Each structure stands twice: as C-alpha cells, then as structure tokens.
C-alpha cells in the first residue's frame, strides 16, 4: 500500500528491448519512464527484454525498475512465456529474485506481440505505439512481410480481444480501430518529455539541421540527405548532423558519398543526454522524415529547446506531437519537405516564432502526468481482475 492508500502491485512489462540495447529507441524510453513513474507511485515493476552485450542478464535502473534480460531478438518471446509460466508455480527468475508473480502484465506489441494472454494467468494490457502496416515491406521480404502483417492485423486482434489497449496518440488509436479493436477498450496515454536542465546554448553560426533517432530504413534519413544535396549550392555552409546508431548507417554513408555531400554530413553515432541536449539547442531545424511514428518523442524534445521540426503529415502521431504551422511544419511529399526546409532556413523571424511556440507546446507533456494516467489504468485493470 502506498501513501495514497492505493494497493501496491507488481507490474511486469514484456518488451523486446530496453534503453541500454544498441537498437533501443523512443518506445523504450516511453516504457522505462512509465515504469519509473509506477515505482514512484508505490508499485513494483519488472521489465523483461532481450539480452545484449551492453548489459548483464539482470539489473536495476536508477528508478528502481528490475530488468531481466533473456534470449535473443527472436527467442525473447519464448523466454518470456517460459518465465511467466514458471512464475505461476513459484519457479524461475521472478521467484528466485523475490519479485513474485506479477499482478498485471503489459505486453508491448512492436509489430509482433508476446502472446501473453495465452500464458500470463493475469490481466494483460496490450501496449501498441503504432500499427506497422507501412513498415513491414520496408524491413522484410514478401513472405516475412505477409506473416508479420497477418500476426499484427488479424491474429493479435483476436488474441487480445478481452484485453485493454494503451497507445500513445489518437492517430494510433484510430488505426487500431480499423483493425477491429473496439475503441472503448483503447486508452491514449501520450509521451511526456523531460524537463530541460542543461545550459542554454546559441544556435550554430551556419545553417544547421538535425536528424535524431535510430538508423533503420523506415526512419528515411535518405530524405534529409537528398534535401541537403539539393540545397548545397545555395547554402554553402549548410550542415546536417545525424545522431543515432543502427544497422542502416553504412547505406546512409554510401548515399552521402554518391550525392557528393560527405563534407556536409556528420554522423554523430550514439549521443549521451548531454550531447543530445547540445545538438537540439544548437540546430536551426530538426527533421523527422520517418515513414511512421506512434508519437514523435524527438519532436517534443526539440520543441523543449525551442527548435521547430519538419515532418510528414501522414506519419501517424507526429501530427499530435506538433501543431502544424505553429511549432513546425507538416508536409505531404519529399518535394514539399525540401521546399519548407529551404523557406524556414531563410526566414529567421518565422523560425524563431515557431521555436517559441514549440517551447510552450512541449510544456504540456510531462512524464509525471503520463505516469499518473498509466497508474490509474494499472489500478483499474487489477481491481477488475480481483
């Protein structure tokens, strides 16, 4: 029981990655910030995810979230099922580490779910950041694409038909309803953003752009590179920083070379929170050329540093992470993307006004409010089950 009188629950999150994973991204940040807020609210939280070389098989975050890392990118699903089944009989890592059987399982569905309703024996919440309809053919071949989309769009909808859903934007909520999920079972809990604690920094003296995120095909960093190539003649000092890591980095470097803009592109790799703050503060514009985002965490992070963003209107939750024409610009195609980047780089007054509006907009989203809303859902789910 916490100080508010709310019973303490053990919440188990099943996710393929954690934030220490080299391939971790915004969805992992969301998950661990939610988990941290649940701990603050008095709950016990365990995150089960895939093992990787950056961290050991067990650990505890600074916020007090216990982390169990088992299996590979592919076998983590089976290991999660075995761990939950063992926990029902007082066996396995949950019991050995004194964590106890969970009261609630949060099944994070990143295209492929963990199928927790089949084995959890406890209430399950399906956490879906966005529907992956567009991503499957970008990342996989035709057979895997069809299988993945069938699992996501048909099998999962039926398997989780008695579960509550959580998603991060109204856009994702709408997409889930088109797959057949009852809108009344879907709660929208948007991302928060962390308070800015770093020092204020001036913008670069030269026109500068920033892409922040994992380097994978559906993030479409290529569009940002082609934009730089098109603007290179008229803006000889233009620079693009690509901050993030991923298996798609080498093709992006090769494209930079073929476009003749290698000297204008800086691949920064993984950046610390301090380095990310510096980049977001100093860039003139942030670019989000992604094909699809559940929310757009980096858009709000940029906004919190008074940096407007250019993104695509059809890319899911990005239209909710910003206010079009006020805190940034949404476009419909690549040609328009390049055009508005050119216009904003040339218009200091408009760009500064957008940055000020973006700062005010970002203040609306806090992790404390997001965590409090999720904590309500934990209580509701476990009370109904009890």
pLDDT digits (tens, 9 = 90+) for 321-356: 999 999 999 999 999 999 999 999 999 999 999 999
Chain mean position to CA 35: 14
Q: Where are the alpha helices (DSSP H) in the chain?
A: 26-40, 76-88, 92-96, 135-139, 142-150, 156-159, 170-179, 221-231, 249-259, 273-282, 297-303, 318-321, 334-346, 348-362, 367-385
Considering only CA atoms, give the Rg of the chain.
21
Q: Is the pLDDT score of 26 beyond 90?
A: no
Tell me: do 274 and 185 sit in the same domain.
no
Judge contact between 58 and 97, C-beta under 8 A.
Answer: yes
Whether residue 321 is contained in a domain is answered as: yes
pLDDT of residue 386: 56
In this predicted model, which residue has the larger pLDDT, 117 or 92? Answer: 117
Tell me: do 156 and 20 sit in the same domain.
yes
pLDDT of residue 6: 65
Tell me: do 132 and 247 sit in the same domain.
no
pLDDT of residue 122: 94
- 355 sits in the region (left: phi over 0; alpha: psi -120 to 50; else beta) called alpha
φ, ψ of residue 212 to 5 degrees: the values are -125, 120
Q: Is the pLDDT score of 244 beyond 90?
A: yes
Tell me: do 256 and 161 sit in the same domain.
no
Tell me: do 65 and 184 sit in the same domain.
yes
pLDDT of residue 78: 96
Q: Is the pLDDT score of 25 beyond 90?
A: no
Whether residue 107 is contained in a domain is answered as: yes
Question: Measuring CA to CA, how many Å separate 330 from each of 189, 212, 244, 340, 348?
Answer: 23, 17, 23, 9, 19
Q: How confident is the model at residue 5 (pLDDT cuts 50, 70, 90)?
A: low
Tell me: do 100 and 26 sit in the same domain.
yes
Q: Is the pLDDT score of 205 beyond 70?
A: yes
What is the total residue count of the chain? 386
The number of domains in the chain is: 2
Whether residue 1 is contained in a domain is answered as: no
Whether residue 303 is contained in a domain is answered as: yes
Distance CA 67, CA 98 (A): 13
Read off the pLDDT of residues 39-91 as tens digits, 9 standing for 90 and up.
999 999 999 999 999 999 999 999 999 999 999 989 999 999 999 999 888 88
pLDDT of residue 243: 97
Q: Is the pLDDT score of 1 beyond 60?
A: no
Tell me: do 43 and 180 sit in the same domain.
yes
Whether residue 273 is contained in a domain is answered as: yes
Q: What percentage of residues in the chain have a pLDDT greater than 70?
A: 97
Q: How confident is the model at residue 96 (pLDDT cuts 50, 70, 90)?
A: confident
Tokens of 229: 């190539």
Whether residue 41 is contained in a domain is answered as: yes
Tell me: do 156 and 216 sit in the same domain.
no
Tell me: do 157 and 276 sit in the same domain.
no
Q: Mean pLDDT over all residues of the chain?
A: 93
Whether residue 332 is contained in a domain is answered as: yes
pLDDT of residue 134: 86
Tell me: do 371 and 358 sit in the same domain.
no
Question: Measuring CA to CA, how many Å separate 250 from each of 219, 255, 319?
Answer: 14, 9, 30
Whether residue 201 is contained in a domain is answered as: no
Read off the pLDDT of residues 109-148 as tens digits, 9 standing for 90 and up.
999 999 999 999 999 999 999 999 888 888 888 899 999 9
CATH number at residue 186: 3.40.50.2000
Long-range contacts of 97-102 (CB under 8 A, 24+ apart): 97/58, 97/66, 97/68, 99/10, 99/44, 99/46, 99/66, 100/10, 100/44, 101/10, 102/10, 102/11, 102/12, 102/46
Question: What is the pTM for the complete model shown?
Answer: 0.86
In this predicted model, which residue has the larger pLDDT, 40 or 99? Answer: 40
Q: What percentage of residues in the chain have a pLDDT greater than 90?
A: 85
Q: Is the pLDDT score of 290 beyond 90?
A: yes
pLDDT of residue 385: 63
Tell me: do 250 and 330 sit in the same domain.
yes
| Strand pairing report for 239-243 and 208-212 | parallel
User: What residues make up the domain containing 231?
Assistant: 208-362
Tell me: do 111 and 165 sit in the same domain.
yes
Distance CA 222, CA 255 (A): 8
């Amino acid at each position: 029981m916490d100080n508010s009188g709310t019973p303490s629950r053990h919440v188990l999150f099943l996710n393929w990655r954690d934030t220490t994973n080299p391939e971790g991204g915004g969805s992992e940040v969301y998950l661990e910030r939610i988990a941290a807020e649940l701990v603050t609210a008095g709950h016990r939280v365990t995150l089960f995810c895939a093992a990787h070389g950056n961290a050991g098989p067990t650990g505890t975050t600074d916020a007090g979230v216990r982390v169990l890392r088992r299996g590979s990118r592919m076998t983590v699903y089976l290991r999660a099922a075995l761990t939950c089944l063992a926990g029902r009989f007082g066996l396995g890592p949950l019991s050995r580490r004194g964590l106890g059987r969970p009261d609630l399982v949060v099944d994070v569905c990143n295209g492929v779910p963990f199928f927790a309703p089949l084995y959890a024996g406890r209430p399950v919440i399906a956490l879906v950041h966005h529907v992956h309809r567009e991503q499957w053919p970008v990342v996989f071949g035709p057979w895997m694409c069809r299988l993945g989309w069938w699992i996501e769009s048909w099998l999962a909808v039926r398997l989780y038909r008695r579960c509550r859903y959580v998603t991060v934007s109204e856009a994702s909520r709408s997409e889930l309803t088109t797959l057949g999920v009852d809108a009344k079972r879907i709660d929208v809990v948007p991302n928060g953003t962390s308070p800015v604690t770093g020092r204020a920094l001036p913008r670069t003296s030269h026109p500068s752009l920033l892409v922040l995120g994992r380097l994978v095909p559906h993030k479409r960093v290529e569009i940002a590179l082609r934009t730089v190539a098109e603007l290179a003649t008229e803006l000889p000092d233009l620079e693009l920083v690509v901050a993030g890591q991923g298996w798609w980095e080498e093709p992006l470097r090769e494209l930079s070379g073929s476009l003749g803009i290698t000297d204008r592109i800086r691949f920064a790799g993984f950046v610390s929170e301090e380095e990310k703050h510096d980049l977001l503060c100093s860039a003139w514009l942030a670019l989000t050329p992604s094909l699809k985002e559940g929310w757009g965490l980096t858009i709000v992070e940029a906004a919190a540093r008074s940096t407007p963003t250019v993104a695509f209107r059809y890319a899911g939750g990005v239209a909710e992470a910003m206010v079009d024409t006020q805190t940034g610009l949404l476009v419909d195609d690549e040609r328009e993307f390049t055009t508005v980047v050119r216009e904003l780089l040339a218009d200091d007054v408009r760009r500064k006004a957008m940055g000020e509006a973006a700062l005010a907009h970002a203040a609306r989203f806090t992790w404390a409010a997001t965590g409090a809303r999720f904590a309500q859902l934990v209580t509701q789910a476990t009370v109904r089950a009890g």
